Amino acid sequence: MDFSKGLMAASTKPLILSVLKRGDSYGYQIIQNVKKLTGGTLKWSDGMVYPVLHRMEKEGFITSEWQGKPGEKLRKYYSITERGKQELIVEKEQWNFLHGVLSKFWEQSLT
């Protein structure tokens, strides 16, 4: 699927927050995770995801910490914050609201 620009972007934030709510993770893993969870449909590029993570951290929705066992590459693990959880609730409400409005149209004329 080739997503229209706006939608793709609008989904990254809530999806990342949802992934992190399940448990801490790092950029590369989040990308693989989302790819797997969507059966390969959502293929996020790293250059697309990392800036979003940086921004979300700056906004206080997530925090980061470098971790690495000896002999392993360093990974930047992200955790969702309380503020992030609140934000996720809001985003969820907005998604559901808009989906509801659109669904109302789409139910009526079946195309």
Instruction: Using the minimum distance from each CB to a copy of itself, give the nearer residue, 74 or 98.
Output: 98
111 binds a copy of itself (CB under 8 A): yes
Under the criterion CB under 7 A, does residue 23 sit at the interface with DNA?
no
Q: Which does 73 bind (CB under 5 to 8 A by kind): DNA, a copy of itself, none?
A: DNA
Q: How far apart are CA 50 and CA 35, in angstroms?
A: 16
CA 55 – CA 3 distance, rounded (Å): 22
Which residue number, 65 or 95, has a Cβ lying nearer to a copy of itself?
Answer: 95
User: Are 30 and 19 spatial neighbours (Cβ–Cβ below 8 Å)?
Assistant: yes
